[in-house]
Amino acid sequence: MPDEIKNILFCGVGGQGILLCSEVVAYALMQEGYDIKKSEVHGMAQRGGAVEAYLRYGSRVYSPLVEPGSVDFVVGLELMEPLRYTSLYSEKTKVILNTQKVPTIGISTGIETYPENPVGTLRGLGLEVYPVDAFEICTELGEPRAVNMVMVGALSWFLPVKVRTVEEVIRWRLPEKLHRVNLRAFREGRRALRK
């Protein structure tokens, strides 16, 4: 039943914790009884490069890869990154977007410039965009590395998962000393989109 499959694209920059982000969501969906395929790439694709992970869930999922026009949710951990994958989107795609900017090496060395108003560009394509100031939220929490959990919190509004399930997964997946800050990041992420 391919029609019932939902597709999430996680994208951002190597080192932002994209793989953990997609893993927490995958476990939560699995706990709610869904079949899962999660696809990612390791190795040369890390080291500050563009990183993407696909998560597909439904009653039976075969393909680990999503096809053009089939992404339901985009979780952008960096402001311009969702622009890179628009060929996979459709009018129904929702973009949950961290407003944090991380320049590419071309931009940081002054050869290229950062794209102007990525949110506007995405909206101009007819997409629903939900900006989240995840980096600011985390800086306030004193843990800039928890950006990924803020984004999990924001995404959780759109998924058939219980808050308690996600919290259980975070507790199970992370070392105990990181529970407090990551659970707070998750809840703040949820709150950020309720406003």
Partner 1 sequence: MRFRDLNRKLLLSGNEAIALGAYEASVRVATAYPGTPSTEILEALTQYEDIYTEWSVNEKVALEVSLGASIGGVRAMSSMKHVGLNVAADPLFTAAYTGIRGGLVIVTADDPEMHSSQNAQDNRNYAPFARVPMLEPSDPQEAKEFTKLAFSISETFDIPVLVRTTTRLSHVSGIVIPSSRRQRPRVRPSIERMPQKFVMLPVHARQRRQALEDRLSRLREFSETFKGHRIHRGSREIGIITSGVSYNYVMEALPEASVLKLGLIYPLPETLIRRFASRVRRLYVVEELDPYLETQIKAMGIDCTGKEIIPSQGELNPAKVRSAITGKNRKVFPSVEVPKRPPVLCPGCPHRGIFYAISRLGVFVSGDIGCYTLAALPPLRAMDTCVCMGASIGMGFGIEKGLGRKAHGKVVSVIGESTFIHSGITHIVNMVYNGSTSTVVILDNRVTAMTGHQPNPVTGLTAKGEPTVELDLEALLRGIGVEHVHVINPHDIEDAYRVLKRELKRKALSVVISKAPCALLPEVRKAKRPAYEVISEECRGCRACLKIGCPAIWWVPEDNKKKGKARIQAYLCNGCGECEALCRFGAIVVSDAR
Task: Give the residue, chosen from 44, 116, 177, 194, that forms a contact with partner 1 under the rule CB under 8 A.
Answer: 44
Q: How far is the C-alpha of 134 from the C-alpha of 42, rounded, in Å?
A: 25
Among 67, 117, 162, 180, binds partner 1 (CB under 8 A): 67
Residue 170 or 192: which CB sits closer to partner 1? 170
- If DSSP codes are grouped into helix, strand and coil, which group holds residue 18? helix
- Per CB under 8 A, the list member of 7, 21, 25, 38 interacting with partner 1 is 38
3-state secondary structure of 33: coil
Size of the site for partner 1 (CB under 8 A): 61
d(CA 141, CA 151): 14
Rounded to 5 degrees, φ, ψ at 101 are -100, 130
- Exposed/middle/buried for residue 44 (C-beta within 10 Å: 0-12, 13-18, 19+): exposed
**Residue 116 burial class via C-beta count within 10 angstroms: exposed 0-12, middle 13-18, buried 19 and up:** exposed
Question: Of 76-84, 152-160, 174-182, 185-193, which part binds partner 1 (CB under 8 A)?
Answer: 76-84
Q: Is residue 120 close enough to count as binding partner 1 by CB under 8 A?
A: no
Q: How far is the CB of 164 from partner 1 (least distance, A)?
A: 14
Site string for partner 1, 140-179 (x = CB under 8 A): ----x------------------------x--xx------
Q: 3-class DSSP state for residue 167?
A: helix
Angle at which helix 147-156 crosses helix 163-173, to 10 degrees, equals: 160
When asked if residue 37 is in the footprint of partner 1 (CB under 8 A), the reply is: yes
Interface residue list for partner 1 (CB under 8 A): 2, 13-14, 23, 26-27, 30-31, 35-50, 61-65, 67-70, 80-81, 83-84, 86-90, 93, 103-110, 112-115, 121, 125, 144, 169, 172-173
